[in-house]
A and B are shown apart, each in its own frame.
Chain A
Amino acid sequence: MKSSSQVGASSKEEAPGRQPTTTPTRIAAPKTNKGVAKQAAGTPWLFLAPYLILFIGFVLIPIVFGLWISLHAWDYTRPLQPFVGLANYVSLFQPDSPYFESFWSSMQATGIFTVFSVPLLLTIPLAVALLMASKFPGRNFFRAVYFAPYVLGVAVISVLWRYLLDNNIGLVNYYLGAIGLPDNIAWTTSTPAAWVALIGVTVWWTLGFNAVIYLAALQDIPGELYEAARVDGANKWQQFLNVTIPGLRPVLSFVTIVTLIASVNMFGQSYLITLGGPGRETRTAIYQIAETGLRNFQMGNAAAMSYVLTLFLMLLSLIVFWLFREKKEGK
């Protein structure tokens, strides 16, 4: 991923607006700095210190501390936190425990959301990016329009869509009725409509992010490759399969992982649009963990849940890595 063409491209993108004269426009040489000044042994660590203090304090220690918490009946509101070994984990797998049902139904909600949102978020933005890959007047304007919802926070878009999806006075039902479709769908209070709503809103909100990454990757594919494919008599579809897809492969795995992690971490939409309902059907795993640990202060249970969820997520990520690796070797 560090080919010199990409380094050149990124520094070219850096230039507009600021300091076009001082920013070097082309960097060809490999950049190992062995020849540059030697420094005192402590110098690098002085530079690193502020970052590392926060990194250790709020990332590394919490990872281990979280495990420690999960081994205790940790109740924030009580003075003593008795050690219970693996009991918090065991209780997640015992059908008669109070945490079994709530945890696995929230895992199911996260699963449903992920299974349907990830494929849509991989394909629709790719279609958008392909539409905008060639030069045409106003391209940057359209790119900005499709990206715009993404700069808004989940709270804004959720409060907005709860209004638009309102059963009685919402825009969505009104226009559905106007074109002759059912106009009384309970988007926020019944399933499967609530899932359609949550997934649809998420696609609308984050589509621009994936599209912009695809678009940057598409523009890095050398035009000569398409030229060569055309000369060989490849049609548009063959060009897509044999030039575009291989060219996108590294970015495709990145986008898949990022989208997967984002979907598994879904929280705000469910918290504000459906309020986790109907019942607890759309209450996701993150929602359940946050409520268990930070609202009901059962932190031992919540920490155990978060490690189980993490295990699932890491397995999924490994599978994705493996899938993309496999294809690469096959080529």
Chain B
Amino acid sequence: MTQLTESDASTASGASGAGNSGNLSTKRADPAGRRKMVLRLIILSIVALIFISPLIFMFVTSFKTREDATGIPPSWIPDPFSLQAYESILAPGSSTPVLRWFLNSMVAALLHAALVVVISALAAYPLARMEFRGKKIVFGVIVATLLVPPVILIIPNYLIVSGLGWLNALVAIIVPTAASAFGVFFMRQFFGALPEDLEEAARLDGANRFEMFTKIILPLAKPAMATLALLAFLTNWNDFLWPIYVLFSPEVQTLPAGLSTLQSANAVRYDLLMAGAVMASLPVLALFVFLQRFIIEGVSRSGVKG
């Protein structure tokens, strides 16, 4: 957690110029305004600390012994510092193979993110930069499915996945959820904002549409694709409902689904549960620490677009 705060603080101070003209802070010079500012910072810091304390406690507990994890009063420093919990859940041949789950989650989330980015970028390109018959209908149908709650898809998709022979295999959580309307919207918005005459020069050189796309549009779209990949990775890594029902053997489960198994197998072994939770948090927290601007701005733009 200390790493999180340090690197975030440096990002934050380095990027403070990004904000728009402040609405309320015009009186910076006078001492009353300064005191108000300090007071606000203190309040915000205290609230932020309370807000983040559950996550700190999760990390702390994962380094405790079994007894220490259930000790009263709860302690914020492991005594003794112990790697027991990790040794136990990462031991090979366990009925709760956390390392295997971790790798499954990683493979699934990476492939899912790649698939989402490729098919979304390809589909968004003609929707943003070509005129053709049926464009409005295609886009309209994609928009309309945004209002369809995912719950009505789970029963039929279970049968479809079963028919394809994908039950209890990672492909079941990689492919079916990849056709997200969000991905197409996101890329379409970016492509649409690029200057109109971008492809013109390439067309004069005799390039076809696919070459224009790969040589001109895609290189410009790297930041947008990175953001979309990131969001798709996070969504897939964290997905819970679908994996717990379509993956049932221990060796094919993902880590979040595995946490559920771990919880039912070790109800009060909170040291083990917290170590498992930390394993499931590390990749997403690491991505968040290093790429938080992409994540937050990707998310906030989903609202501005709406």
Contacts and interface: CB of A to CB of B under 8 A. Distances in A.
Contacts of B300: 212-213, 215-216
Interface string B10-46: 0111011011111111000000000001001100100
Contact of A289 (B19, B141, B154, B292): B154
Given A59-B145, A151-B234, A156 B281 contact: yes
Of the candidates B9, B19, B184, the one having the most CB atoms from chain A within 10 angstroms of its own CB is B19
Nearest to A145: B48
Nearest to A312: B149
A102 B53 CA distance: 37
A319 interface: no
A35 B130 CA distance: 10
A126 interface: no
Interface string B134-168: 01001001100101111111111111101000000
A62 B152 contact: yes
Contacts of B24: 133-134
A290 B245 contact: yes
Nearest to A294: B245
B299 A212 contact: yes
Question: Which of B5, B155, B263 lies at the interface centre, i.e. has the most chain A CB atoms within 10 A of its CB?
Answer: B155
B223 A47 contact: no
Contact of A226 (B23, B222, B287, B295): B23
B160 A62 contact: yes
A57 B118 CA distance: 17
Nearest to A147: B296
A251 B303 contact: yes
Interface in A156-199: 156, 159-164, 166, 169, 171, 174
Interface string A122-164: 0000000001011111111111111111011111100111111
Contacts of A149: 51, 54-55
B303 A146 contact: no
Interface string B233-271: 010011111000100000000011101101100001010
Given A59-B145, A140-B11, A163-B270, A65 B132 contact: no
A285 B148 CA distance: 16
A286 B241 contact: yes
A109 interface: no
Interface in A44-59: 44-45, 47-48, 50-52, 54-55, 57-59
A65 B195 contact: no
Interface string B174-196: 01111100001000011011111
A136 B40 contact: yes
B306 interface: yes
Nearest to B279: A156
B61 interface: yes
B193 A31 contact: yes
Contacts of A43: 126, 130, 132, 209
Contact of A306 (B141, B151, B194, B195): B151
B114 interface: no
B228 to A, nearest CB: 12
A138 B301 CA distance: 22
B303 A22 contact: no
B196 A31 contact: yes
16 contacts: A33-B130, A33-B131, A44-B135, A54-B179, A62-B156, A137-B41, A138-B9, A139-B12, A142-B44, A149-B54, A151-B284, A169-B270, A174-B74, A217-B303, A293-B154, A306-B151
Interface of B: 4-5, 8-9, 11-13, 15-16, 18-25, 37, 40-41, 44, 48, 51-52, 54-55, 57-58, 61, 70-74, 118-120, 122-123, 125-133, 135, 138, 141-142, 145, 147-160, 162, 175-179, 184, 189-190, 192-197, 199-200, 203, 209, 212-213, 219-220, 222-224, 226, 234, 237-241, 245, 255-257, 259-260, 262-263, 268, 270, 273-274, 276-277, 280-281, 284-285, 287-288, 292-297, 299-306
Given A48-B126, A147-B288, 10 more contacts: A18-B223, A23-B223, A31-B194, A37-B199, A62-B157, A144-B8, A151-B288, A223-B22, A289-B155, A310-B152
Q: Top 6 closest A-B pairs, CB basis?
A: A153-B238, A213-B303, A254-B306, A44-B126, A155-B256, A51-B123
